[in-house]
Structure 1
Amino acid sequence: MQEDGTKNDPDGGREGPRVAPREQLGTPERSGLRGRLRALRDYGPGSGSLGAWLRSLRRRATSAWGGVEATNRHRIAAVLIVAAAVLLFWLVLLPAAPCGFPGGDDCPPGDDAIGLVPEDALAYAHLDVDPDSDQFAAAAGIAERVPLLARIAVDSLGGIAGVDVDFERDVEPWAGGEVALAALPAGLRGERVLMIEAEDTGAADAFASGLLGPKQSSANVDGTDVSVGRRGASWAIEGDFLLIGSRAGLAAMLAEDAGSLEDAGGATVLDELPDERVAYAYVSPDGARALFGSGSPVDTFVDSAATEGAAASLSADEEGISVTVRSDLDPSRSGAGPGFFAALPRFTPTLTAAVGPSALAYLGLGDPEAGVGDLLAQARSSSPGLVTAFQRASRDLGRQAGIDIGDDLLPLLGSEAALSLQPVAADGEEPVPGVTPDSATPYVSLIAKDVDADAAGQSLARLQGPVAKALADNGRAATFETIQVAGVQAQALAVSPAVDLTYATWDDLLVIATDSLGIQQARSLDAGLDESAGFEDVTSGFPDSVSLLAYLDLTGLLALGEQAGLATDPAYTAYAPDLRSLTAAGLAVVGDEDGIATDLRVSVGPRQTPQVDASPLGE
């Protein structure tokens, strides 16, 4: 308010554009788009029409420009032209620059080996070993922090390739920046061919000859000389690559009519992988069915029965590693028998805000009622025993409490459910620097959203008796008690000193936890898991809508395991420094009848080595 009692002018007394009265804008001659544009013209800024105002502005600008000396006008014009050119370069040309051009997009790693792989290859893997590439340097940096785990990975690759050599000693001196492996449908069981880029073909020749040993014979396969050792092991130089494999494998790769994997229909899935990667692999539909088979853990992310081609990549940076898996599905086959993730409804995670920021583990699902129903439908053919057990449990619960799992319990989980494991600080002295502080038994919490609170309360009340009986200690069944937790009424059952089964409903939420702290956390106004640094580090860049979202605090889980006795296991002790460097992991999966997209991120911190204090004797 001003001193005279009038309201302050929000525009500070500045004259603004005049607005046409509503009744004039709505007259017949000014209705429609054209009429409204005319009204805008007639009621523009200033004392006249918009057109008159613009004409006046132009006359004033022309007069001012004419008052500038000719030399200065030329200089100003030149500066404006240069500025426009720079703006055009940065906003238009630079984003379209070819990869590798300064400011342009990052280039994918070079892969000349794939051009030698036959079109019908079952599988193909490629590794970037160029020490000058950013990805190799980043991966090497991660390997330095977890050297034992890195050695296991490298040794396993050697076993897969079927060649037992020391890469650094025997191969690196003459090799280029690519190493690849192809699995081909040759022979009775398929054949593997190892491909190593050879910068020094003479040294590569000597290495291969020494590897196969004496008494080698020669053969010619479609114009390429092949050396054959005992038991059919063979090698050849083709396209600057040393090829090592069986005679049948090399014959299949070098055949003139073999085609190229780049032209395979399923290989288009490779375009879905990130350009920045140190390694990647591809499997064809036949390869997926041969390598994985229905029901294997890997097949959950591929769906070999319906895939048209699947690929995975490994990328590295200073903060950790990322694994990307993509599987393109044939809708006609995936729809007839949907895989695990196709059965899980898509959702946008929101309950991470209700989970504690120090959660040790989190699993988010959308519409559990629909998801469990679809999974049970799948299990009727793949796991009939599981369906039988579920039906038996449902009948028992119905007999004891008059509740049907499918009709009464699953709907309680609403449109989104968050299952988490959260820590509880132990009472005692202040933690000692450098020593993992002790913690009490962590509690499990289940949070459901969009729940009918009244229906949930009634169903859970009918369950109290059977649950208390099932959890009775030495036949003495406790009873649920009504308590107040964080301003809401909750029901609690003391199961043991470490487990206090508690549940509560409010608004559209249902929380069931093994400690009343779960209710307190869900009602807390403080930051949740979604704002914790560890969670953000491993989930940043994940899709907004997912079929499943998971998070692990690896540091916290490992500390919990060590307190439980893992630290005294000699087998664990050897790998403890490496494992302690793994700080967190995040997983997102999106599945439907068209494909499965999986993203895994693992953050890796500095190498954890014991800190030894100096001797108090000064030694």
Structure 2
Amino acid sequence: MESSTSRVQLPGNRRLHLLLAGTAGILVGVLLAVVLLGGGGDDDAAPASGTAGLVPASALVYLHLSTDGERDGTRQALQIARGFPGWNALRDRTVRQLVAAGRDGAQAAGVTPFLGDEAALALTDRGTETAGSLVMLQVTDQAAANRYLEKGQATVRESEARGIQTRTFGTLVTAIIGDILVIGQLQSVREAIELSTGRGDTLADDPSYQRAMEGMPADRAADAWATADGIRRLLAPQGGALGIAGALLDAPGLRATALALTAEEDGLNLRVRRLVDPDAQGKVAGGFDPSLAEFMPDDVFAFADLRNLTGVAQRFLSLAAQNTEARTLLEAAQQGGALEFLKGEVGVGLSPGVPASVLTLVARTDDEEGARKAMKSLKAPLVGDVVDGRVIVSTSAAGLSAAKDPDPPLSGTEIFKKTVGDSDNGVSSLLFLDFTQLLRLGEQTGLRDNREYLAVAPDLEKVQAVGVSSTAEEGSSTSEIFFLIP
């Protein structure tokens, strides 16, 4: 078996060399093909989770998948995945990788006879420039698993550790611990064996991991765990989707993040729980019942309802990067000045406009007179007014007029109802993105000229909208991210 090395540039002068063995990466890919064909198992709601007991508590990243094809959560996720145009290409690429690794193309799904109910990948910090990697597959037939690994191999070296047989294929070492096949570097496999005998601290028993995973949906199809170090060293420095994910998951005082992906009737729900240092988190504000979407026009393609513009507003600053007035408005709201009265619940919306998108703020106020005085300090092209206890400020007269009496309002649209629904009292912020409109606007500004975008556009177009509701408590925050995929 051949191996490949991927290098990740770390902040400062240090580098982390991720030795991800070629076969390890391939077997992770095979999981997709396996789930596509359906696996064995039962229909219990909760996914199997034995692999976390073979991962050290210090793991940087842990990705866990349910491969139980008879489980409702797995089947529903597969049904949604099949609807994406890129799914078949991903499956075919997996087959080609298997062939390149010396497998018979006709036997590309050869792991299905022995694959059990779960699979996982762990990346660990070994205290050196090379990170440890470990692939774990629950197996139902150990002999079949060994025959599959031996296929095409001229030399197989065998040894033993703690009474468990290890097999070496080139630079890869494998072992079957209980009913779990582990594949990785020698040190990673030996560490898993040590953990299985009670020597060392496992991720499964780590208090932070347990706290982060507590209450995660039992019907999830996949879950993941990453420490702040893992996010900043392995994800954030990467380009593309991995780099974006790292930037979004990171936060001041972050300790670790857990994620759980669940398939629903008309989309996917991603629950993200961050564990943070309370000292860096600051005072946790009480939740509220979001209510300002009813004062936004129905053509709003990006909307946030929150109490503190700092943080969420930064994302809107990015969306409004080409709109100087929008940036001025948000920056003014963050810094005080003319908009210092926006201290309670605030709704922020972006609507299509020419030559730039229109940004509108709506807030409730008990001091209409003070708000009207503040409106006088606004400078063109910003316009504002006070209507029935609501303060409205916009980057255009059209935006101001639409927010005064929206008919119909954003809250009344089907896409908003399906994506956001009725948020419970206690939410710390709410976000809505009409992804279809967002892509359309992006294409009008030249996104179609980007080859990378064109490659994934058919899959992105499957996502109609995204809704995010967040809650916070001391030491943690939780976000529910729903992707509407009709």
TM range, normalised to the smaller chain?
A: 0.7 to 0.9
**Could you tell me which of 367, 372, 391 is aligned with 1:452?**
367
Equivalent pairs, count: 414
Contact 1:423/1:440 (8 A) holds in 2: no
Give the deviation of 1:323 after TM superposition. Answer: 0.6
Contact 2:223/2:259 (8 A) holds in 1: yes
| Matched AA of 1:267 | Y
The structure whose Rg is larger is 1
| Matched AA of 2:85 | P
1:327 match: 274
Contact 1:352/1:530 (8 A) holds in 2: yes
Give the deviation of 1:246 after TM superposition. Answer: 0.3
TM-score, reference length from structure 1: 0.59
**Could you tell me which of 218, 232, 251 is aligned with 1:275?**
218
2:430 is equivalent to residue 549 of structure 1: yes
Give the deviation of 1:207 after TM superposition. Answer: 2.4
Contact 1:193/1:245 (8 A) holds in 2: yes
CA 1:304–1:573 in structure 2 vs 1: closer, same or farther (change >3 Å)? Answer: closer
2:291 match: 350
Alpha-carbon separation, structure 2, partners of 1:600 and 1:542: 13
Alpha-carbon separation, structure 1, partners of 2:349 and 2:190: 54
Alpha-carbon separation, structure 2, partners of 1:191 and 1:508: 59
2:190 is equivalent to residue 261 of structure 1: no
Contact 2:301/2:351 (8 A) holds in 1: yes
Give the deviation of 1:148 after TM superposition. Answer: 1.2
For residues 227-264 of structure 1, the C-alpha deviation after alignment (integer angstroms, 9 at most, x for no partner) is 12333x21112212221100000010001313543222
2:474 is equivalent to residue 586 of structure 1: no
2:29 is equivalent to residue 114 of structure 1: no
Matches for 1:216-235 after TM superposition, within 5 Å: 216-231=156-171, 233-235=172-174
2:256 is equivalent to residue 314 of structure 1: no
Contact 2:348/2:362 (8 A) holds in 1: yes
CA 1:187–1:405 in structure 2 vs 1: closer, same or farther (change >3 Å)? Answer: closer
Contact 2:118/2:137 (8 A) holds in 1: yes
CA 1:404–1:283 in structure 2 vs 1: closer, same or farther (change >3 Å)? Answer: closer
Q: Which runs of 5+ in 2 are unaligned?
A: 1-41, 238-242, 315-327
Alpha-carbon separation, structure 2, partners of 1:236 and 1:179: 15
What secondary structure, in the 3-state scheme, does the structure 2 residue paired with 1:178 have? strand
For residues 245-286 of structure 1, the C-alpha deviation after alignment (integer angstroms, 9 at most, x for no partner) is 000000100013135432221122212211111000123576
Alpha-carbon separation, structure 2, partners of 1:411 and 1:171: 62
Alpha-carbon separation, structure 2, partners of 1:164 and 1:412: 67
Give the deviation of 1:180 after TM superposition. Answer: 1.0
170-179 vs 295-304, greater mean Cα deviation? 295-304
Contact 2:253/2:281 (8 A) holds in 1: no
Give the deviation of 1:604 after TM superposition. Answer: 0.9
Contact 1:266/1:284 (8 A) holds in 2: no
CA 1:238–1:147 in structure 2 vs 1: closer, same or farther (change >3 Å)? Answer: farther
What secondary structure, in the 3-state scheme, does the structure 2 residue paired with 1:558 have? helix
Alpha-carbon separation, structure 1, partners of 2:474 and 2:178: 40
**Could you tell me which of 151, 168, 178 is aligned with 1:239?**
178
Q: Which has the higher helix share?
A: 1
Contact 1:184/1:252 (8 A) holds in 2: no
CA 1:129–1:531 in structure 2 vs 1: closer, same or farther (change >3 Å)? Answer: same
Alpha-carbon separation, structure 2, partners of 1:304 and 1:455: 35
What secondary structure, in the 3-state scheme, does the structure 1 residue paired with 2:289 have? coil
Give the deviation of 1:122 after TM superposition. Answer: 3.8
Alpha-carbon separation, structure 2, partners of 1:121 and 1:404: 41
Give the deviation of 1:302 after TM superposition. Answer: 5.5
Contact 1:117/1:261 (8 A) holds in 2: yes
CA 1:171–1:542 in structure 2 vs 1: closer, same or farther (change >3 Å)? Answer: farther
Give the deviation of 1:120 after TM superposition. Answer: 4.3
What secondary structure, in the 3-state scheme, does the structure 2 residue paired with 1:237 have? strand
**Could you tell me which of 118, 124, 135 is aligned with 1:178?**
118
Alpha-carbon separation, structure 2, partners of 1:164 and 1:324: 39
What secondary structure, in the 3-state scheme, does the structure 1 residue paired with 2:464 have? strand
Alpha-carbon separation, structure 1, partners of 2:335 and 2:446: 40
Contact 2:236/2:245 (8 A) holds in 1: no
Contact 2:121/2:136 (8 A) holds in 1: yes
Give the deviation of 1:287 after TM superposition. Answer: 4.9
Give the deviation of 1:561 after TM superposition. Answer: 3.1
Alpha-carbon separation, structure 1, partners of 2:266 and 2:392: 35
Give the deviation of 1:601 after TM superposition. Answer: 0.5
CA 1:543–1:292 in structure 2 vs 1: closer, same or farther (change >3 Å)? Answer: farther
2:414 match: 533
Matches for 1:508-527 after TM superposition, within 5 Å: 508-524=389-405, 526-527=407-408
2:76 is equivalent to residue 169 of structure 1: no
Alpha-carbon separation, structure 1, partners of 2:150 and 2:366: 70
For residues 136-164 of structure 1, the C-alpha deviation after alignment (integer angstroms, 9 at most, x for no partner) is 221121112213168569979x99xxx99
| Matched AA of 2:257 | A
What secondary structure, in the 3-state scheme, does the structure 2 residue paired with 1:582 have? coil
For residues 302-321 of structure 1, the C-alpha deviation after alignment (integer angstroms, 9 at most, x for no partner) is 547453x5311111123111
What secondary structure, in the 3-state scheme, does the structure 2 residue paired with 1:550 have? strand
**Could you tell me which of 125, 131, 145 is aligned with 2:83?**
145
**Could you tell me which of 55, 68, 72 is aligned with 1:130?**
68
1:421 match: 350
Alpha-carbon separation, structure 2, partners of 1:440 and 1:405: 25
CA 1:353–1:153 in structure 2 vs 1: closer, same or farther (change >3 Å)? Answer: farther
2:323 match: none
Contact 2:124/2:132 (8 A) holds in 1: yes
Give the deviation of 1:115 after TM superposition. Answer: 3.3
Alpha-carbon separation, structure 1, partners of 2:480 and 2:68: 25
Alpha-carbon separation, structure 1, partners of 2:336 and 2:92: 51
Contact 1:345/1:367 (8 A) holds in 2: no
1:384 match: none
Contact 2:338/2:377 (8 A) holds in 1: no
219-228 vs 504-513, greater mean Cα deviation? 504-513
Alpha-carbon separation, structure 2, partners of 1:583 and 1:197: 36
Matches for 1:391-470 after TM superposition, within 5 Å: 406=335, 408-423=337-352, 442-450=357-365, 452-464=367-379, 468=380
Q: CA RMSD in A?
A: 3.9
What secondary structure, in the 3-state scheme, does the structure 1 residue paired with 2:123 have? strand
CA 1:291–1:140 in structure 2 vs 1: closer, same or farther (change >3 Å)? Answer: same
CA 1:509–1:533 in structure 2 vs 1: closer, same or farther (change >3 Å)? Answer: same
Give the deviation of 1:442 after TM superposition. Answer: 4.7
What secondary structure, in the 3-state scheme, does the structure 2 residue paired with 1:250 have? helix
440-449 vs 574-583, greater mean Cα deviation? 440-449
2:141 match: 200
Contact 2:157/2:168 (8 A) holds in 1: yes
Contact 2:284/2:474 (8 A) holds in 1: no
CA 1:300–1:555 in structure 2 vs 1: closer, same or farther (change >3 Å)? Answer: closer
Alpha-carbon separation, structure 2, partners of 1:419 and 1:533: 20
